[in-house]
Each structure stands twice: as structure tokens, then as C-alpha cells.
């Protein structure tokens, strides 16, 4: 089976700023890869290229073994890539059902929205997958009124609903309580057990270490190194991270 994601010598600049330079990156089948790096290292740019939000300036990208060019977000979602973004990508003034189907609304043949179906489906997801039990929450509730954990639940359920094979989590633990974080870590383990692949980005090295099969360290737009978590202790990984932050190189 081919790699789920493969980037070859990918570069991306924003004006004068080189966000990524000749980056090679692989996400294998049924693998969880942790992306580590400081603020502005290029982690978010890398995943936004994989999700079709940015186009790379140079380099090649392969998804499930096939070369892709001119990838857009809708195309990436069609291929089976779903993302839970740092900022959760929710429209806070809109209802829960609109957020679940954001960008992929169900329509009938003449293009009219199937609102009832989307609300019913949202209600089913709420009770079965998101664990919402409060009577005050319904598909018509505004997402802005939810807690951090509930919002994260919405973003995750949205990623899972469309049966993605590749799930990208960008700083998913941000703003979550300890309990909510534990649930999230369990969820990432669940992704692996379900035979899917994931890219997990987090500032917290403990979280990344506990869920990832492999860790890729990015620094100043380049891959500074990668390790299998089974081959390296958490202390050693932290040590290397400090060294990268100071010098930009691993050894």
C-alpha cells in the first residue's frame, strides 16, 4: 500500500518569508505522525499544503500514491483528508448543523438544501459521537455558546462524519481542560485502531510523544530530524528539541 501523504522537496514562500524549504514528508498507511516545532517553524504551512488551502511554490505531492496538482480544499476532502484546525474553523454565530456540514452541505437534485436531513444527522452525531447530553443543546444551537471541549468535539465529529482516511489535527488540545485533553488523546488512538492515518501537531511534546508512531521536527521551514517514538525516550526527544530551538540543527 502506498503512503497516504508524500511531499517531495516542497517549498512555500509568503513574500520575502520562506515558510518551507525543500521539505520531504511522509505519512504512511495507518501511521500517526507527530509534527513538532516552534512557533513559525512551518508546521501549519505544511498541513495547509496537504489540505489544499495553500499551493506549494515548488515540489511534488502524492496522495495515496497518486501525484496531485492544483489541490483545493474540496478536492482534498473528496480524497479523504479532514482537518481539525487550531482555531477549529467554526463559524460561531451559526448553528451546530451548519457547522457540521460547513462547505459540504447536503442538497437535492435541484440544489435546494436538505435542511431536515442535515439537522437529523447532526442530532444523531450529537447524541452518539459528540456525547452532548444537555437538553439545551440541539442542532439549532449556536456554536458560539459551546465550551472549548464541545467546540473541539464538533470539529472532530465533522472530520469523522465524512469518513476520512487521513485526519490532520492542528493544535487540537489548545484551550482544552485536562479531562477533555485525555479524551482527545484517546480519540487519536482510536484513529489508529480504525486503520486510518493522522498528522498530529501540538506544542505539547508529551501529547505528541504519547500518540505518535513517528515524530518529525520542523525548524525554520526545514525538516530538522525525525524519530520513531519507540526508538527514543521522551527525555532524549526533549533534549533534541531544545538543541534544535537553539541551533537549528539536531547534533
Partner 1 sequence: MDDTVQELTEKKADLEYKETFSLSKFARQNGTQLGIFAVFIVLWAVFIFAAPDTFLSPNIYWAFMATIPFFAISAMPLTIAVIAGEIDLSFPSIMAMGMVAFILTYDATGFVWLAFIAALAMGLLAGLLNGVIVVYFGIPSLVATIGTQFFWRGMVQVLSEGSSGSLIYTKESILHPFLVGKIGGALPIQFIWLLIIAILCWVLLNRTRFGAHVYLTGDNAESAALMGVNTRRTRITVFILIGVISAFAGVIASLYVTFFWPSLGGGYLLSTLASVFLGGTSVFGGVGTIFGTFLGAFIIGAIEAATVAVGLTGFYTQVIYGLIIVISVTMHSFLRRRME
For residues 169 and 152, give the distance between their C-alpha atoms in angstroms, rounded to a whole number: 11
**Position among 7, 34, 61, 85 found at the interface with partner 1 (CB under 8 A):** 85
* Nearest CB to partner 1, comparing residues 113 and 194: 113
Supply the angle between the helices 148-161 and 178-193 in degrees, to the nearest 10: 10
* Nearest CB to partner 1, comparing residues 24 and 117: 117
For residues 176 and 248, give the distance between their C-alpha atoms in angstroms, rounded to a whole number: 30
For residues 146 and 142, give the distance between their C-alpha atoms in angstroms, rounded to a whole number: 8
Q: Do 36 and 79 form a contact (C-beta atoms < 8 A)?
A: no
Query: Does 107 interact with partner 1 (rule: CB under 8 A)?
Result: yes
Contact letters for partner 1, residues 8-47 (x by CB under 8 A): ----------------------------------------
Q: Name the residue among 175, 1, 165 with its Cα closest to residue 82.
A: 165
Q: Do 82 and 76 form a contact (C-beta atoms < 8 A)?
A: no
**Position among 26, 68, 115, 205 found at the interface with partner 1 (CB under 8 A):** 115
**Please, what is the end-to-end C-alpha distance for the chain in angstroms?**
34
* Nearest CB to partner 1, comparing residues 128 and 177: 128
**In the beta sheet, which residues pair with residue 12?**
20
The interface with partner 1 within residues 132-191 (CB under 8 A) comprises 135, 138-140, 142, 144-145
**Position among 55, 127, 147, 204 found at the interface with partner 1 (CB under 8 A):** 127
| Smallest separation (angstroms) from partner 1 to the CB of 35 | 17
The residue ranges that bind partner 1 (CB under 8 A) are: 51-53, 72-74, 76-77, 83, 85, 87-94, 98, 101-105, 107, 111-113, 115, 119-120, 123-124, 127-128, 135, 138-140, 142, 144-145
Amino acid at each position: 500500500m502506498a503512503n497516504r501523504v508524500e511531499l517531495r522537496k516542497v517549498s512555500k514562500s509568503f513574500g520575502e518569508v520562506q515558510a518551507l524549504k525543500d521539505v520531504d514528508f511522509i505519512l504512511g498507511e495507518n501511521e500517526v505522525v507527530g509534527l513538532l516545532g516552534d512557533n513559525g517553524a512551518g508546521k501549519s504551512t505544511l498541513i495547509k499544503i496537504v489540505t489544499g488551502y495553500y499551493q506549494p511554490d515548488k515540489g511534488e505531492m502524492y496522495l495515496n500514491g497518486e501525484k496531485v496538482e492544483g489541490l483545493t480544499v474540496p478536492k482534498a476532502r473528496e480524497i479523504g483528508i479532514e482537518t481539525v484546525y487550531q482555531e477549529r474553523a467554526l463559524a460561531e454565530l451559526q448553528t451546530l448543523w451548519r457547522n457540521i456540514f460547513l462547505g459540504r452541505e447536503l442538497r437535492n437534485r435541484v440544489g435546494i438544501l436538505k435542511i431536515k436531513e442535515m439537522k437529523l444527522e447532526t442530532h444523531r452525531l450529537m447524541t452518539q459521537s459528540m456525547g452532548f447530553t444537555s437538553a439545551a443543546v440541539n442542532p439549532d444551537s449556536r456554536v458560539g455558546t459551546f465550551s472549548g471541549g464541545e467546540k473541539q468535539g464538533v470539529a472532530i465529529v465533522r472530520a469523522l462524519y465524512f469518513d476520512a482516511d487521513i485526519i490532520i489535527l492542528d493544535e487540537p488540545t489548545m484551550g482544552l481542560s485536562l479531562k477533555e485533553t485525555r479524551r482527545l488523546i484517546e480519540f487519536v488512538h482510536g484513529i489508529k485502531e480504525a486503520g486510518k492515518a493522522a498528522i498530529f501537531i501540538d506544542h505539547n511534546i508529551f501529547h505528541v510523544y504519547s500518540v505518535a508512531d513517528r515524530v518529525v521536527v520542523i525548524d525554520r521551514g526545514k525538516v530538522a530530524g525525525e524519530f520513531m517514538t519507540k526508538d527514543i525516550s521522551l527525555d532524549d526527544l526533549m533534549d533534541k528539541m531544545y538543541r534544535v530551538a537553539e541551533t537549528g540543527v539536531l547534533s
